[in-house]
A and B are shown apart, each in its own frame.
Chain A
């Protein structure tokens, strides 16, 4: 059964449609890369999947017992200010908020999960450091740990490697792939780096105000769309 399926999805801002005809479904463990030019509606789709923006048509259905609030999310532009005082551990722990339910405080289980996810990202020794003093790559890992605290099933990542150097980028891609393979967590990632996208992803969704392509990465490589998007270079 599909973990997520979208039917005829349409999004508009103030009456102006920015994305339509989105129709795809994913199974547990799939790795979907969403590609497309600037302004093609990638972030809008992500916000729609999270319930931060209401679809103006069509439906989003979650399967396998996944609730909309059990999605891990790594935003494209965080509203986090540069000077915000918070320790790495506090940031990761805040990802557990969804599992708090009616309880008011974090218990031992949440604390353990936060530490475990920091460890998974290889940054457990940074746990008492200040978030604002970390490098961009380290900050992204902290936010990824926070996203993992929020989910056991589905991760949504909106351009997670923006502003990282090639080494940090590669490391982050590897971490995400590792989580996808080892923990069978479904990943949906917005990416501009189409070469990396087809290397890591199992499926590709190409947007351009509407759905231009959805299918496996292998099929995408052969499509004329990919060739055009890459400016003639074959993958």
Chain B
């Protein structure tokens, strides 16, 4: 108990927990439509683009978030277009873009600072990465993502469930797809510093998949995913503090464990 209180007394821990909880919430909420629309790959692609942008920003000594957020947001809309275009192979195009962005990032880091802890902290995340101003901006942005998602919830449901029907009732489906993509981009960038570029997409995908094993309504899946995501984040970070394991990977393992439990429970229920 005392150890827990001590953990909470560190400023960097407070910042990390605040931002982490908000980002996990956003990731889980956005993850549900992304997974259902078969856009999981986009989250993964965005994290790699984010890594590239982050590396270049730090090589040029620019403010990391201010550069990365807009770059990744543009990439999000682009990736969405690519994956919807049936004439070119969407999957392959996304894979190409994401590995190219990763390569650009690695080269630019190794040219400027050399392959060092910096790279590994980008790739695998670091709980110490957030400065005070970063934390403030992250909290504000993720609050905005949450607010937009909740405001447009009925439309997001309709566009996710049946796009052509919602188009016919006058919903500008393309605009909402782009909205989801941009919100995802912001979330990916915010979560990347802490979780790491290679691990952030699991924050988006795992809670949605786990919740889909358990719940049968959209609202149920969304709320369950949000709760699971925050719970796993807190569990993972706490474990990483005491076991001295990397935070990002610990959170992903917590998510994996939750998924296994949900899958078992879901199968049990179906069996009856």
CB <8 Å contact, A75 and B217: no
In the assembled complex, the Cα of A146 lies from the Cα of B165 at a distance in Å of 10
Q: Which residues of the partner chain B approach A98 to less than 8 Å between Cβ atoms?
A: 169-171
**A97, B152: Cα distance in complex, Å:** 11
A81 and chain B: residue at smallest CB distance: B36
Q: Closest approach, in angstroms, between the C-beta of B85 and any C-beta of chain A?
A: 14
Interface contacts (Cβ under 8 Å), in number, total 87
Which residues from B are CB-within-8-Å of A97? Answer: 154-155, 158, 166, 169-171
Distance to closest chain A CB from B84 (angstroms): 12
Indicate if the CB atoms of A85 and B220 lie closer than 8 Å: yes
Q: How far is the CA of A83 from the CA of B157 in the complex (A)?
A: 15
CB-based contact A94/B164 at 8 Å = no
* Chain A residue contacts of B153, Cβ below 8 A: 105
B175 at the interface (CB under 8 A from A): no
B191 to A: closest C-beta gap in Å: 24
CA distance A220 to B165 in the complex (A): 31
Asked if A130 meets B158 with Cβ closer than 8 Å, knowing A73-B165, A84-B36, the reply is no
Complexed CA–CA distance, A128 and B154 (Å): 17
Which single member of A52, A68, A78, A106 contacts B162 (CB below 8 Å)? A78
Q: Which residues of A contact B171 (CB under 8 A)?
A: 97-98
List the A residue with the shortest CB-CB distance to B217: A87
Q: What residues on B are CB-neighbors of A194 within 8 Å? A: none
Of listed B36, B163, B165, B170, residue having the most chain A CB within 10 A: B165
Interface 1/0 per residue, B246-269 and A, CB below 8 Å: 000000000000000000000000
Indicate whether B212 reaches chain A with its CB closer than 8 angstroms: yes
- On chain A, the residues within 8 Å of B168 by CB distance are 50-52, 69, 71, 73, 150
Residue with the highest number of chain A CB atoms closer than 10 Å, among B152, B162, B218? B162
CB of B167 within 8 A of chain A?
A: yes
Interface residue A166 (Cβ < 8 Å from any Cβ of B): no
A196-B163 Cα distance, complex, nearest whole Å:
30
CB distance from B211 to the nearest CB of A (A): 8
Which residues in B have their C-beta under 8 angstroms from that of A52? Answer: 164, 167-168
- State the CA gap A233–B152 with chains docked (Å): 55
* Contact status of A94 and B158, CB under 8 A, knowing A69-B169, A86-B218: yes
Per-residue contact bits, chain A 40-71, to B (CB 8 Å; 1 contact, 0 not): 00000000001110000000000000001101
Pairwise interchain contact B217-A86, C-beta atoms closer than 8 A:
yes
Q: What residue in chain A is nearest B214 (Cβ atoms)?
A: A85
Q: Is the interface of B mostly helix, strand, loop or mixed?
A: helix
B221 at the interface (CB under 8 A from A): yes
Interface string of B30-45 (1 = CB under 8 A from A): 0000001010000000
Residue A124 interfacial (CB < 8 Å): no
CB of A225 to closest CB in B, whole Å: 30
Contact at A85–B169, with CB atoms within 8 Å?
A: no
Residue pair A104, B162 in contact (C-beta under 8 Å): no
Contacts of B212 in A (CB 8 A): 83, 85
CB distance from A4 to the nearest CB of B (A): 15
Distance to closest chain A CB from B267 (angstroms)? 14
In the assembled complex, A137 has its CB within 8 A of some CB on chain B = no
Instruction: State how many angstroms separate the Cβ of A47 from the closest Cβ of chain B.
Output: 8
**CB of A146, distance to nearest CB on chain B (Å):** 7
Contact, CB under 8 Å: B217 / A94? no
Answer yes or no: B146 CB below 8 A from chain A CBs: no
* A22, chain B: closest CB distance, angstroms: 19
A85 to B161, CA, bound (A): 9
Q: Which of B127-166 contact A (CB under 8 A)?
A: 151-155, 157-158, 161-166
Query: Is A16 on the interface with B (CB-CB < 8 A)?
Result: no
Set of chain A residues within 8 Å of B11, measured between Cβ atoms: none
- Measured between C-beta atoms, what is the minimum distance from B108 to chain A in Å? 40
Within 8 Å of chain B (Cβ to Cβ): is A36?
no
B170 A86 Cβ-Cβ under 8 A? no
B272 within 8 A of A: no
Contact B216 A133 (CB under 8 A): yes
Contacts A50-B168, A79-B162 hold; do A94 and B215 have CB atoms under 8 A apart?
A: no
The 4 closest A-B pairs by CB, nearest first: A69-B170, A130-B216, A98-B169, A87-B217
What are 19 residue pairs bridging A and B, where the CB atoms are less than 8 Å apart in the complex? A50-B167, A52-B164, A69-B170, A73-B165, A75-B164, A78-B165, A80-B162, A81-B36, A81-B38, A85-B212, A85-B220, A87-B219, A94-B157, A97-B155, A97-B171, A104-B152, A104-B154, A129-B216, A132-B216
Q: Which residues of B contact A (CB under 8 A)?
A: 36, 38, 151-155, 157-158, 161-171, 212, 215-221
Which residues of A come within 8 Å of B, CB atoms? 50-52, 68-69, 71, 73, 75, 78-81, 83-87, 90-91, 93-95, 97-98, 100, 104-106, 128-130, 132-133, 146, 150
